[in-house]
Amino acid sequence: MFGLDTKDTRLFFFVAVLVAFAPFLMNPFPTESGLAQFNGGYPDLMQRFVIFGIFAIGFNILFGLTGYLSFGHAAFLGTGSYAAVWMLKLLTINVIPAIVISTLVAGVMALAIGFISLRRSGIYFSILTLAFAQMAFALAASVLTPITGGETGLQTALNDPRILDFRAEGGNIPAPSLFGLEMRASYEWLVGGWSFTFNVGYYISGLFMLAALYVAIRIFRSPFGLMLKAIKTNQNRLNYTGVSTRPYTLTAFVISGMYAGLAGGLMAAMDPLAGAERMQWTASGEVVLMTILGGAGTLLGPILGAGFIKYFENIFSKINDSILHSWFSFLPEGLENVMVTILHPFVGKGWHLTLGILFMLVVIFLPGGLMEGMQRIGKMFSRKKKSDETDGKATVPAE
Amino acid sequence: MEAFIIQLLSGLDGGSAYALIALGLTLIFGTLGVVNFAHGALFMLGAFCTVTLQRLLSLSHEVIDESQKDFLGNPLKVKVPYLQDWFGEATSNAIIDWSVPLAILFAIPVMILIGIAMERGLIKHFYKRPHADQILVTFGLAIVLQEIIKAYFGANPIPAPAPEVFRGSYDFGLLLGFEPNRIIYPYWRLVYFAFAAIVITAVFAFLQFTTFGMVVRAGMADRETVGLLGIDIDRRFTIMFGLAACVAGLAGVMYTPINSPNYHMGMDFLVISFVVVVVGGMGSLPGAVLAGFVLGILQSFASMREVIEVIPGINQVVIYLAAIIILLTRPRGLLGRKGVMED
């Protein structure tokens, strides 16, 4: 369907169903129960799931397919955010122009950076992209303050021109909307002890993510995607056969930059605020973590990785000592305190430690990320092991 | 002229931190072929060696002092460091005052042990994995080390002052025959530069003039042949990893008076030191040192007011700009060798 084969169609619908029912799936516990802190179904977090999903899908088109490890993708995310906020300020509070322009601006920037950086490969490419991103970050935080708002960031204001909008006098700063449908508007549905939140911004971002995933699937299955995989496998051999690889890598770089720009634009559309810290190299590192954790080179992996990191970032960082005490209150007091002391460094402000350890474990034991883990578990239960294994071996190039 | 010399000095001492970290990174890359993203964390661990020693030295117990009274007339409780009981007041104060230089002695064995443990425990298993995996696992390790330090020492910077004699500034111009008070420079930064020069010389001398160093250099050129000659090259490379960790740690120890140690100082240096390594040429030790000083000096001159007025913001980006230009014109960096990291 839509030019996808059965397997991809199934995958696409699986993700679509996940996105559509996320408000239920993420809120499995009643609001009043003790487990309610594991609920991730509030709009802000769900928006971040899908937006970072887009970012990671885009990064995966570059890293997963061509093997070029960019350490500067946050620059495109930040540029997209700035462009989107400017569109919201100058043109209209409607989010459509903002999102379109942010994607295009990030694409143009990716074209310029990619044109230079892709002259080198390997670690040199990583350092070049890192250098460009750090330059963008430093400039945005200092010299470009009139455009970027410097350290305080850029946000919408009441007296922005907004030339396409009908302007009412006074009132509040208008919230970004889609033809009057405000991004932050939510509908709460109370069923028994449960409360489910359906947020406009989330569903719009979710639609964009599905579109992004669709395009990514088409790229993965196209001759162009095959070419990119060939570049990852052995670029020299391609050069010897007379294929110039530069146009292919550059296109992949621009596409993945545009994905990052789209993610940045959506971020600004959900919450009209853009700051320089979105461009810092730690933000680039985060998308690398997401992609690897989920499984680079797979379609579903980056989305899983983004969801995984964002979920644990929110949930782990909310757990504090009193919650820990309430969990272990069934134990005798001495033992309770021991358990809380052991777990204390890993939760709350220390959740980065948990993330770092998890990440190391994944890289050490599961180089293919969560997707490989799931496949291994799947294999354990499936009966036709042997035919699968021979399939896998046949793809190794004869070197 | 005076302004020029001041900028040169500040470039040299800024560059010496880059050069020390980049030297360690290149040692690891040249010997083991591993891209170590946890090197900044080693720098940070070195800085926290100083903090640990400072805390150890000022461990104290409370004594009731009859000569001092609080406002109710009760004798005050005074904290007395154990050192004072053992060595007397003057010596103990001097030892605490000199805790930063003393931390060098403390950091050398600690950092070598940490380095060897890291290599044997983790990095050993990553020699045959792709570079991307090495980058990722050491990046994860850097996060873990950083968070452990944060959990133990807290998120705020911890001041670690230089010894009394080296606080304040030194009239450097007098040495060069200028008028007094024309070229004044912080004392400790001059010490830092001298220290970096000594460490760099020591590393190069170790590699150049000892049998151990000779074997290591041979191993860097052709690991397999050295192994076939019956030399346990892996063990020596492990020791080199310890040495590289030690160089990074020492750079961190001496840096504490310049910048109070905090848990993310390593990450701040890591990005720049990678740029330095690549600009110098992957795997080239002299290249790393040279690029460290060149980029340090460039950054210092770009921060001059006259330059910023012409090109605003240049001080923020000059290092990256230089890196881009050098990488595009000299693809292997300043002193890079052919055939390193070209796949």
Q: Please, which residues bridge with residue B75 across strands?
A: B69
pLDDT at B109 > cutoff 70: yes
For the residues B98-118, what does the mean pLDDT come to?
Answer: 90
Closest Cβ opposite residue A131 in set B139, B313, B320: B320
Q: Which residues of B touch A138 (CB under 8 A)?
A: 313, 316-317, 320
CA distance B114 to chain A (A): 18
CA distance A168 to chain B (A): 40
For the residues A306-316, what does the mean pLDDT come to?
Answer: 85
Q: How far apart are CA A175 and CA A96, in angstroms?
A: 14
pLDDT, one tens digit per residue, over A145-164 is 888 887 788 888 777 777 77
Closest Cβ opposite residue B133 in set A124, A128, A367: A367
A78-82, A344-348, B163-167: range with lowest mean pLDDT = A344-348
A120 contacts B327? CB cut-off 8 A: yes
What pLDDT score was predicted for residue A1? Answer: 63
Residue B127's alpha-carbon distances to A190, B122, B142, B180, in angstroms, are: 55, 10, 18, 56
Q: How confident is the model at residue A384 (pLDDT cuts 50, 70, 90)?
A: low
pLDDT, one tens digit per residue, over B211-257 is 999 998 888 888 888 889 988 888 888 999 999 999 999 999 998 88
What pLDDT score was predicted for residue A55? Answer: 94
A143 contacts B143? CB cut-off 8 A: no
Length of chain A, in residues? 399
Residue B326 touches partner A, C-beta closer than 8 Å: no
What pLDDT score was predicted for residue A390? Answer: 44
Mean pLDDT of chain A: 83
What pLDDT score was predicted for residue A391? Answer: 45
Residue of A69, A123, A288, A309 best to disrupt the B interface, most CBs of B under 10 A: A123
Report domain extents, chain A. 6-27+42-279
Q: How far apart are CA A243 and CA A348, in angstroms?
A: 52
Closest Cβ opposite residue A143 in set B141, B150, B313: B313
CA distance B313 to chain A (A): 5
Q: How confident is the model at residue A230 (pLDDT cuts 50, 70, 90)?
A: very high
Domains and CATH numbers, chain B: 2-57+100-329 (1.10.3470)
Q: How confident is the model at residue A7 (pLDDT cuts 50, 70, 90)?
A: confident
Write down the pTM of the prediction: 0.84
Closest Cβ opposite residue B136 in set A124, A353, A363: A363
Q: Please, which residues bridge with residue A94 across strands?
A: A177
Residue B325 touches partner A, C-beta closer than 8 Å: no
Task: Count CB-CB contacts under 10 A for residue B257.
Answer: 22
Across A61-75, A182-196, A247-261, B54-68, which has the greatest mean pLDDT?
A: A247-261
Q: Which residues of A touch B275 (CB under 8 A)?
A: 127, 130-131
For the residues A119-148, what does the mean pLDDT come to?
Answer: 84
Contact B292, B16 (CB under 8 A): yes
Q: Which residues of B touch A120 (CB under 8 A)?
A: 327-328, 331
Contact B39, B25 (CB under 8 A): yes
The two tokens of residue A321 are 């000592």
The complex scores an ipTM of 0.79
Write the DSSP symbol of residue A168.
P
What pLDDT score was predicted for residue A57? Answer: 94
What pLDDT score was predicted for residue B247? Answer: 93
Residue B334 touches partner A, C-beta closer than 8 Å: no
Residue with token string 């050129």 = B221
What pLDDT score was predicted for residue B153? Answer: 87
Nearest to A110 by CA among A251, A254, A247: A254
What pLDDT score was predicted for residue A169? Answer: 60
Residue B156 touches partner A, C-beta closer than 8 Å: no
CA distance B291 to chain A (A): 15
What pLDDT score was predicted for residue A393? Answer: 44
Q: Which residues of A touch B139 (CB under 8 A)?
A: 285, 359
